[in-house]
């Protein structure tokens, strides 16, 4: 009786696994391949644009951000500047980003000479990777993160978790302690047997990576998931108090309507606060009618996206409103900050990124063998059924 119940449960689990795989196979393959393409985006873009990212260092001081932006806009008709990336390296160009236009399109960014505001050119590969990123995150569905693409990719990630868990249960061998049974495909087989061996073994190889990818990817898809993770790992009340900018005074609100927001006072405050510790800093203007400039900076010995410090500075007074330093975070808060780096394997350096890229690139093969197994299983079931003419009453 126990064996029969086990077989029934296994058959039901196989149905769930198969149906989820058939429904999600193509979308999963698309998301995985786009993720693989982006694995070494930073390195590729840096190589493509090495000629415009560096300038000859000079003895004269670099321009302040507002003067640089003013000269740049005077030289050519550009959109509204939304962010600038500045570096402590005297040979590094300034990276200028622009806000979206009325049609919702974002103009190409520019690298600019920090000494004379001469435009060096737009980065090659930027538009390509931006499209790949939108495809990966939102399937190019209108609305981007505010449209239907975000919950759809999140639901696909949940479906992948179901497939991974059910697949692990279905392939659990009788000799669970045998490494060979888990990790070595039987290449001597052919047809359905080979497909099954490849599907099971590939699934075992990539299962840990796929679990990490999906569990971290859900952070970007669902607010309830993000809130739950933050509640478990961080100090929500302390973090909210630390990062909540102070309300501007009535005088500042009045000034806001008469003068544009600039970078200079925030940049001066940041330089005074950080000194020579930073390697690069990203200054972002407020998207709405606020007065607070957000500054993300990375120290010279930090390369990961997660290891940034974050400051908020009032653009009119130069007052430091909040400072969130990576070194002062708890372990859980560092994990949250590193979710993007964990998601793409960068937390393990280039070997981790390479391993995650390979795992993502294997998804189409994994999906193809699953579909072939489903089709061959249906064929076997049809061939096992007796012809209608040979049935006797009651069958």
More confidently predicted of 377 and 61: 61
Determine contact, residues 391/35, Cβ cutoff 8 Å: no
d(CA 123, CA 29) in angstroms, rounded, equals 28
Residue 220: how many CA atoms within 13 Å on its side-chain side?
23
d(CA 8, CA 121) in angstroms, rounded, equals 64
How far is C-alpha 181 from the geometric centre of its chain's CA atoms? 34
235-329: CATH topology: Nuclear Transport Factor 2; Chain: A, (3.10.450)
Pairing between strand 110-112 and 309-314?
A: unpaired
Buried b / exposed e across 209-247, counting CB within 10 Å, b at 16+?
A: bbebbbbbbbbbbbeebeeebbeebbeeeebeeeeebee
Q: Which two tokens stand for residue 199?
A: 């599907």
Q: Using alpha carbons only, how large is the chain's radius of gyration in Å?
A: 27
d(CA 219, CA 381) in angstroms, rounded, equals 41
pLDDT in tens, 254-294: 444 456 789 999 999 999 998 888 999 999 999 777 889 99
Question: Can you give the pLDDT at residue 366?
Answer: 82
Question: Can you give the pLDDT at residue 122?
Answer: 95
Q: Structure pTM?
A: 0.84
**Is residue 109 pLDDT above 90, yes or no?**
yes
Determine contact, residues 324/333, Cβ cutoff 8 Å: no
Domain boundaries, the chain: 2-41+133-220+353-383, 50-123, 235-329
Q: Which two tokens stand for residue 125?
A: 């590969």
Question: Which residues have a Cβ under 8 Å from the Cβ of 123 and sit 6 or more positions away?
Answer: 45, 48, 49, 52, 53, 108, 109, 111
Q: Give percent of the chain above pLDDT 90.
A: 56
């Amino acid at each position: 009786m126990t064996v029969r119940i086990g077989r029934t449960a296994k058959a039901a689990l196989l149905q769930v696994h198969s149906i989820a795989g058939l429904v999600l196979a193509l979308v999963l393959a698309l998301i995985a391949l786009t993720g693989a393409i982006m694995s070494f985006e930073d390195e590729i873009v840096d190589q493509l644009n090495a000629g415009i990212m560096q300038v000859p260092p000079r003895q004269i001081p670099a321009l302040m951000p507002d003067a640089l932006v003013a000269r740049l806009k005077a030289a050519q008709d550009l959109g509204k500047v939304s962010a600038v990336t500045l570096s402590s390296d005297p040979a590094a160009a300034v990276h200028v980003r622009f806000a979206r236009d009325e049609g919702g399109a974002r103009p190409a960014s520019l690298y600019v000479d920090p000494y004379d505001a001469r435009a060096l050119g737009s980065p090659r590969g930027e538009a390509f990777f931006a499209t790949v990123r939108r495809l990966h995150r939102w399937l190019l569905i209108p609305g981007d993160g505010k449209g239907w693409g975000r919950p759809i990719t999140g639901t696909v990630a949940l479906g992948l978790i179901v497939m991974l868990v059910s697949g692990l249960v279905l392939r659990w061998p009788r000799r669970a302690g045998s490494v060979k049974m888990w990790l070595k495909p039987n290449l001597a087989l052919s047809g359905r047997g080979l497909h099954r061996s490849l599907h099971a073994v590939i699934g075992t190889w990539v299962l840990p990576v796929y679990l990490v990818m999906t569990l971290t990817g859900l952070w970007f898809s669902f607010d309830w998931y993000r809130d739950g993770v933050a509640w478990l790992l961080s100090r929500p009340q302390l973090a909210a108090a630390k990062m909540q900018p102070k309300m501007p005074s009535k005088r500042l609100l009045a000034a806001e309507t008469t003068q544009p927001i600039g970078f200079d006072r925030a940049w001066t405050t940041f330089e005074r606060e950080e000194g020579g510790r930073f390697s690069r800093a990203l200054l972002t203007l407020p998207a709405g009618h606020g007065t607070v400039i957000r500054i993300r900076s990375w120290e010279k010995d930090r390369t990961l996206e997660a290891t940034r410090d974050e400051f908020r500075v009032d653009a009119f007074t130069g007052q430091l409103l909040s400072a969130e330093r990576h070194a002062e975070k708890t372990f859980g808060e560092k994990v949250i900050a590193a979710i993007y780096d964990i998601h793409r394997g960068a937390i393990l350096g280039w070997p981790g990124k390479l391993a995650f890229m390979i795992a993502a690139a294997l998804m189409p093969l994994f999906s193809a063998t699953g579909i072939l197994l489903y089709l061959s299983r249906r064929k076997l079931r049809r061939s096992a059924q007796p012809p209608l003419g040979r049935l006797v009453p009651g069958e």
